Each structure stands twice: as C-alpha cells, then as structure tokens.
Structure 1
Amino acid sequence: MNNFTLHTPTRILFGKGAIVDLRDQIPQDARVLITYGGGSVKKTGVLAQVQDALKGLDVREFGGIEPNPSYETLMKAVQLVRDENITFLLAVGGGSVLDGTKFIAAA
C-alpha cells in the first residue's frame, strides 16, 4: 500500500431554502462538477434550481449515478474531473450520489 494524505472537506446544505445560499459556498473561480442520479432531481425541479443558482460559474454535469453506483460509472466521472480540471464537486441528491461523489473526490 502506498502512503497518502487525503483531505476532503465536506459541507452539507440540507432543507428548505438551502439552495439560495449555495452560490456563497463556491469559490468564484471554481470549475464545478454537479453530480446527480436519475430523474428525481429533474422531476422535482431541484437540479434546475441548482443550475440557476450557479449561473455565471464554470459548471459541468455528470448524471446517472445509480443506486449503489458501479465502479465503472464513477470512474467515468473521475475521468471527466481529470479532463476538465474540475476543482469543486457538488453532489445533488441522496445517499448514493453523496457516496459516489466522495469516491470521485478520493480517486
């Protein structure tokens, strides 16, 4: 095993009105990757609200993180992070999206 240091600061915004303060949590020069799962964040309008809150920032998206996400799915996101020089990960969704995004950050 190789020695390493991992620093993954995490902030969770949760609840009604949390999206309003989202922009204040992201550095202006960040290259943001929004991660999300299936259709529920689209159907409920949450993804659109997040997109609106982040207008003017450099944002990419990675959707389709399935429940208990596969290694292959998450490695596609890791490759996107590398290719696009992403500096900020924003998970929008439930437990599998949050866990998958933690994997992406650690990879």
Structure 2
Amino acid sequence: MVKEVIEHSYLMRDLPQLSPRHQTYGLEVFHSIVSHLAPKSTHFFHLMMLARLYIAAHHFNANRNRAQAKRRDGAEMWKPSYPKATKGTECVVKKCKVPAAYGMHIHLIS
C-alpha cells in the first residue's frame, strides 16, 4: 500500500514542481543556529555537544512563530529585500518580525 502511494504517477508528476525553498527553509535556519552554537572548527566532548544541540533546538522552537512587529500606532512593519535569485534586480517586501526571545541568558563556555 505504501509503495503504491509513493510510486503513484500523480505524486511523481508533482514532485519536480515543488519548491525546494519552502521545503528546506526551516531546516536551514535550524542548521545556522546549530552552526552558531557548535561551530565545526571547535571540538566539543559528547555531553557538551549534546547540550548545545538541545539549546539550539529549544531556541529554534521557541522563536519559529514570531509575530510581525508593529509600530507604536499599531501599523505592521515591513522591510524591502533583494533576493539573490533575482540578482538584486527585483525588490520583495517582507514582514519584520519581533526580536527573538532568548529566555534565560545562557552563556556557553567553549
């Protein structure tokens, strides 16, 4: 049954049309947080690395659905962006998010 669903012609036809940007954006953000907290150029013992991965996961989960920032008068804030895909020739307007929450201040010692 699972094989029939996976190999169905409709799914096979639709897969190439899916946008890779929307599929991997969250994963790329998480990986950037992990790279910040546990850079590959630094050796960490297993428990320290595990703790850093837990902190990265907690930070990502706590901040993934941040609200759109608003001005004092209640108007939503927006910012211009020039995507690399268009080589900076087209402007796209994106939402400004509220600043990330860090909860308790955690100082990591390498």
Q: Which TM-score tier does this pair reach, normalised by the shorter chain?
A: under 0.3
Between 1 and 2, higher relative CO (CA 8 Å, sep ≥ 6) is seen in: 1
| Structure with the higher helix share, 1 or 2 | 2
| Structure with the higher strand share, 1 or 2 | 1
Q: TM-score, normalised by structure 2?
A: 0.23
